[in-house]
Amino acid sequence: MSEHLETNRAWWNEKVSLHAESGFYDVKGFKAGKLTLMDLEREELGDVAGKSLLHLQCHFGLDTLSWARLGAQVTGVDFSPEAIALACSLREEVGVEANFVCSDIHELPGLLSGRFDIVFTSYGVLCWLSDLARWAEVIAHYLEPHGTFYIAEIHPFASVFYDRCDAEKLEVHYPYFHDTEPMRFENQGSYASGGAAGTRHVTYEWAHSLGDVVNALISAGLQIEFLHEFPYACYRMFPFLEPDGGGWWRLNAKHGCIPMTFSLKAYSGGA
């Protein structure tokens, strides 16, 4: 694992316990039976009952276990041992069947065999990946013939704007286009940890344009069914966003209207 991935992995390991205690993740509500998935992916992916589903970058498994509650046979993958340990313990506690694998997704084919009806990934995943061509190959590798890939993700256009707690308006600050050299961030806390910052602050992240995402999947042999863009975010991405009551965060008219989320569905070709 490269030094950048190792630094990110240490950061994610530390965030697991902070996130598990956060209102954002609401583990208590999940244990009481709540599903953590957004309506967006539930409606766009459709009925998963009886289908095998591979969840890439599953964090500590709440969405993975939610798909299992909806009847899917799930496997969740994350490179953080702390995340996978908590996912396994939640699985035992709520009594749902699920398989969890600790792996860097670039390396997954060396560790996990089999194919899946659905490969799923969501919200805050692509910026941690250095190589989208490899990511798309891994997705294609795991899909059954005519299997479905679905992603709901932060829109890369929204990621160009300054997003720290003193941001007052949309100001271009970060690159839109990919560079092999990652951006280095010094973070105080995370999207979910509130005031709790932890001790690990440095992360390395990569920009990927929307075109990079689509073309990586096409080059890996997938056929795109749709690409949708939405003017709302899944977390308070900028301090001036306002909650809409449905779990999303929106800009008011004063700040304009930009895409902050996209979703994409694709199919693998025949056998």
Ligand X SMILES: C[S@@+](CC[C@H](N)C(=O)[O-])C[C@H]1O[C@@H](n2cnc3c(N)ncnc32)[C@H](O)[C@@H]1O
Are the C-beta atoms of residues 138 and 109 closer than 8 Å to each other? yes
- In 3D, which of 238, 266, 12, 259 has the Cα closest to residue 125? 12
Closer residue to ligand X, CB minimum distance, 110 or 270: 110
Closer residue to ligand X, CB minimum distance, 73 or 122: 122
Cα separation, 164 vs 237, whole angstroms: 9
* Minimum distance of ligand X from residue 145's CB (angstroms): 25
In the numeric block, which tokens belong to residue 123? 């919200």
Cα separation, 139 vs 135, whole angstroms: 6
Cα separation, 156 vs 80, whole angstroms: 24
Closer residue to ligand X, CB minimum distance, 126 or 251: 126
* Minimum distance of ligand X from residue 102's CB (angstroms): 9
Closer residue to ligand X, CB minimum distance, 86 or 266: 86
107-145: buried (b, 16+ CB within 10 Å) or exposed (e) per residue? Answer: ebeeebeeebbbbbbbbbbbbbbbebeebbbbbbebbbe
* Minimum distance of ligand X from residue 235's CB (angstroms): 9
Which residue's beta carbon is nearest to the bound ligand X?
124
* Minimum distance of ligand X from residue 167's CB (angstroms): 20
Closer residue to ligand X, CB minimum distance, 105 or 251: 105
Closer residue to ligand X, CB minimum distance, 67 or 128: 128
Question: Using CB under 6 A as the criterion, which residues of the chain lie in contact with ligand X when the complex forms?
Answer: 5, 8, 12, 57, 59, 62-63, 78-80, 83, 104-105, 122-125, 128-129
Residue 233 φ/ψ, nearest 5 degrees: -115, 155
Cα separation, 101 vs 83, whole angstroms: 10
* Minimum distance of ligand X from residue 194's CB (angstroms): 15
* Minimum distance of ligand X from residue 129's CB (angstroms): 6
